[in-house]
Structures are given as C-alpha cells and as structure tokens.
Structure 1
Amino acid sequence: MPIDGGSGTSAPFEQARASLESARIRADLVVTSIPSPTQVAPYSIALAGDVRQKVHGEDSELGTGRFILLHDPEGQPAWDGDFRVVCFAQAPLEAEIGTDPFLAEVTWSWLTDALDARGAKYTAASGTATTIVSTGFGELAEQGTGAKIELRASWTPTDLDLAAHVEGWVELLCMLAGLPPAAEGVSVLSARRAGRD
C-alpha cells in the first residue's frame, strides 16, 4: 500500500514516494504514515516511528521520532534544492547519561554516521541536539530524576534514493533507544503498512 501524503502530481515526488516505500525497516520499530504539513511545501510525506520493547507483557515506549519529506518543485533557497528532509528523534536516558557533556555531539554523529553508512547523499545538514534532565517533586516525587535526548535535524537529499535516508533515521531511533545496530530482521516499509491496514 502506498505511503499517504501530498496532493496533486509531481513526477519527482512520486519517484521519491516509491523510494521511501522500498525502505527496509527494522522489526523492532513500528513505522506509520501520519498527516503531513501542508503549509511548508506543495508536497510532503510524514512518517512516525516508535521503538517498542515488551516489558512485563506490556509495550513500553523506548524512543519515538518523525520523518518528513518536503518537496517544492520551484526550490527554496534555504534548502539548497527542491527536496528537504526534516526529522525528529527522542529517547529517554538514565539521569547520569543525560549530564554527559559530549552527548549532543555523539547524538549528531549517530545521525550522520547512519546516513553515511547507508549511502544517503545529502547537503546543507543542520540541527540541534537537546538533553533534558528533570526531577519530580510533590505528587511527582516518585518519578525521581530522569533525562531524555531530542534531536531535530534537516538536510537536502541530492538524489531521489530516499530509502537510504529513512533507513538512516530508523537506525538513529534505534541507537538512541539503546538497541544494537541492525543486521537482520528488517522488513519493507510498504509491506509493514499493508499488514496493519
């Protein structure tokens, strides 16, 4: 089943959509099509990803993220092209890891390494990595101290092999959640969607 998103037709956008559908998704990640933004570009696709692990018979969320592909046939100067990928990834951390001064740099390098390892070609990459450490008080005191890492990034793909970009984002989500790098146990995105609809 095709990925939802966008309206009208654009040959490059349809080629990009087909490429996204061929992305290989890890079995421990659930990826779904979600409503995409309509104000930023004429064409867009949005995906949500959630890493889940069985704990005491229930699913507990380990990490979450969003992957958005934007396309403006006329291009946008800030993009340095006519396509732009925008992604978000977030995962909880142990409090002591959240205070590591190198965590933000490591998180950014995980994204670029994951993209590079899959052969994703891109330019004009930018982003922020934010560590949040929180302590509960009063009625929330039992939550104790916790932390999470958030990465917001964007880049311009330089070709329409966008499966590599989705696969890099998937690997980033799994690394943030503490899962080992994938070697086997992947499935095709379009097949996973068809099985759930």
Structure 2
Amino acid sequence: MTRDGAGSGAFAEAEAAVRSATFRSDLSVRDIPAPQGLAPFSLALAADIRPDDHGDSPYGTGRLVLLHDPEGQDSWGGPWRIVSFAQAPLESEIGTDPLLADVTWSWLVDALQSRGAPYHSPSGSATKILSKGFGSLADEGDGAQIELRASWSPIGSFRAHVEAWAELVCMLAGLPPGSEDIAVFGARRFRD
C-alpha cells in the first residue's frame, strides 16, 4: 500500500472497510504487495479456495486491487477503481460451452448486485482456456479453465465490493453461496 500526500484519510477509511469484510470459511484471503505506479494509494488481496498446506488451491484463486487517486482518473470516472482477477479449473465439456464467458461476467454482476455494491464504468474480459497434455504431460489429460479479469469504479461500501469479489471467486470454483463445508472431491478438471 502506498501512503503519502493528500487523500490518505479517505484511503485509510476505505482500507478499514476492506479489512472489515467477512469471508466464507473455505476461502483463504491474505494481503499481497500492491502493484506500483497505478495510483497514489493501493491495497491488494489474494484469495484461494481451500488451499493445501503449501498455499496452492486446485479449486480456484483470485486477486483484487483497490486503487485510489484523489485527483481522479478520466477512465475511472472518479477517484476509485477496483481491479480483479478470478480463475478456476473446469471440466472440459464446460470449457467448450459457447455461453461460458457471458455466464462468467453475469456472475460478477450478480455478486455485486446481491451484495448491494453499486458501480460504474465496468470493463473486463472472460477467457476460456482449453488444454491437452502431450509427451510427459500426456497423463494430465484434457483440461479447461475460466479466467475473469474485470475492473469497475465502486460506489458506496468497499466492504460490499470485496465480499462480492470473494463470492465470484467461489462461484467460478463451483461453490455457490451457502455451500460452505460441503465436500469437494477434486478440482473440476476432467481427466481421461
């Protein structure tokens, strides 16, 4: 996090709101270094679904960066911006669904709406990745992955925006709201 000059009071309040967010028990959220040079003030979080002892998750992961520029930026339409990333493995059949990208974006919109987190100036992309192993990786079989990179300018509660992002990360991994403590038998990657 960068802390210098005017605007630190507003950012300190936003940081406190972010840190007050609550997460489901099977989502591990931690601070990570924020990218430098994007804004005078920034805070970054990483989330992993049911990580193993080494911190890796076979189910899905996400990153969120809260940016603040007291002078505002034209492309943001104001002084605040959230930049997010979420990805999860999929079964190969799901990865070929032509509506997958649209559904993935709708999950972000739905999560923001369900948390009462209004926003403006959204942008993003959903990427479907299909893979097939060859040679020494042939045993891994076919696989698929979905990635959502999105940004928006938040209005209102920063806590609500962070909780909506966390909900999205879980939705991509196949864990809808209310599914805490339900057994997951393995990553949703299909193996031949």
- Per the normalisation by structure 1, the TM-score is 0.85
Post-superposition offset of 1:6:
2.3
Identity of aligned residues (%): 59
For the residue of structure 1 that corresponds to 2:46, the secondary structure is strand
**Residue 73 (structure 1) aligns with:** 70
Structure whose residues are more often strand by fraction: 1
Written as runs of structure 1 = structure 2, the 5 A alignment for 1:2-151 is: 5-8=1-4, 10-52=8-50, 60-151=57-148
Q: Deviations over 1:109-143 (max 9, x none)?
A: 00010011000011001100000000001111001
The residue type equivalent to 1:35 in the other structure is P
Q: Deviations over 1:33-84 (max 9, x none)?
A: 0000121100000000000167xxx975200010000000000000001000
The residue type equivalent to 1:169 in the other structure is W
Is the CA contact (8 Å cut-off) linking 1:171 and 1:182 kept in structure 2?
Answer: no
**Residues matched between the structures, number:** 177
- Per the normalisation by structure 2, the TM-score is 0.87
CA distance in 2 between counterparts of 1:151 and 1:35 reads 20
The residue type equivalent to 2:178 in the other structure is A
CA distance in 2 between counterparts of 1:59 and 1:70 reads 26
Structure 2, unaligned stretches of length 5 or more? Answer: 182-192
Higher relative contact order (CA 8 A, sep 6+): 1
Structure 1, unaligned stretches of length 5 or more? Answer: 186-197
Find 1:176's aligned residue among 172, 175, 186. Answer: 172
CA distance in 2 between counterparts of 1:132 and 1:72 reads 34
